[in-house]
Amino acid sequence: MKLILLLFALTANFIPQIDRSDSGLFVVVTSADAETQMMAMVLATQSINQDVNVRILLCSEAGELAVKNSESPMFAPPNRSPKQLLSGLIERGAVVEVCGIFLPNREYTSEDLIDGVGTASPPEVAEYMRGEGIRYFTF
C-alpha cells in the first residue's frame, strides 16, 4: 500500500491538468417563449452548479427578462420563473448582458435593468466567442 501511495505521489505532478480559465458556456437567448427561456436558465444553472463559467446574452424579446418591472411565469418544477433563475445566476457570478441594440430600440435605459445586468459591447462579445473553450448555445 505504501508503494502505491509513493508511486501516486511521484506521478501526481505529471498528470495534465485541464485549464478552465478560457472555457465557459455562452448562452444567447432571443426567444419570447417563456418555456424556452426557462430551459435556457435551467441549463445555465446546472452548468454553473458544475463550476462552469456562464455568460448570458439576452436579445430581442428575451431582453425583457432583464427589465425590472417585467413579469415571468412560474414553471414546475422547480416552481420558479425564468427571471428568478436569471437573478440566481447573477448572484452566483454569471455575466448577464442585454444586446447592445436592446436599450436604444426601446423606451428603456440602463436604470430599467435589474441589478447585475449590463449592456453588451459587440467587439467584446465577438472576442469572447473566439475563446477556444467557449461552448455556445442559442435559445
Q: pTM value?
A: 0.83
Q: Higher model confidence: residue 93 or residue 14?
A: 93
Residue 71, pLDDT > 70, answer yes
Q: Which domain holds residue 49?
A: 29-138
Summarised one tens digit per residue, pLDDT across range 23-36 is 899 999 999 999 99
Q: Is residue 54 part of a domain?
A: yes
pLDDT at 23: 86
Q: Does any domain span residue 9?
A: no
Cα 94 to Cα 100: distance, rounded to the nearest angstrom: 18
Residue 24 lies in a domain: no
Distance between CA atoms of 25 and 104, rounded to whole angstroms? Answer: 27
76 DSSP assignment:
T
With cell 428603456, the residue in question is 108
The per-residue pLDDT for range 90-127, each reduced to its tens digit, is 999 999 999 999 999 999 999 999 999 999 999 999 99
**11 pLDDT exceeds 60?**
no
User: With 70 as the cut, is the pLDDT of residue 62 above it?
Assistant: yes
Residue 18 lies in a domain: no
Band of residue 128 on the pLDDT scale cut at 50, 70, 90: very high
Q: How many structural domains comprise the chain?
A: 1
pLDDT recorded at residue 22: 58
Q: 90 in a domain, yes or no?
A: yes
Whether pLDDT at 137 is above 90? yes
Q: Which cell is 70 given? A: 417585467
Question: What end-to-end distance do the CA atoms of the chain give, in Å?
Answer: 52
d(CA 95, CA 47): 13
Is 115 within the bounds of a domain? yes
pLDDT at 13 over 50: no
Residue 8: φ, ψ to 5°? -65, -45
Q: Residue 43 sits in a domain of what CATH number?
A: 3.40.1260.10
Residue 75 in any domain: the answer is yes
Phi, psi of 125 (to 5 degrees): -65, -45
What number of residues does the chain have? 139
Residue-averaged pLDDT of the chain: 89
Which one-letter DSSP state was computed for residue 18?
P
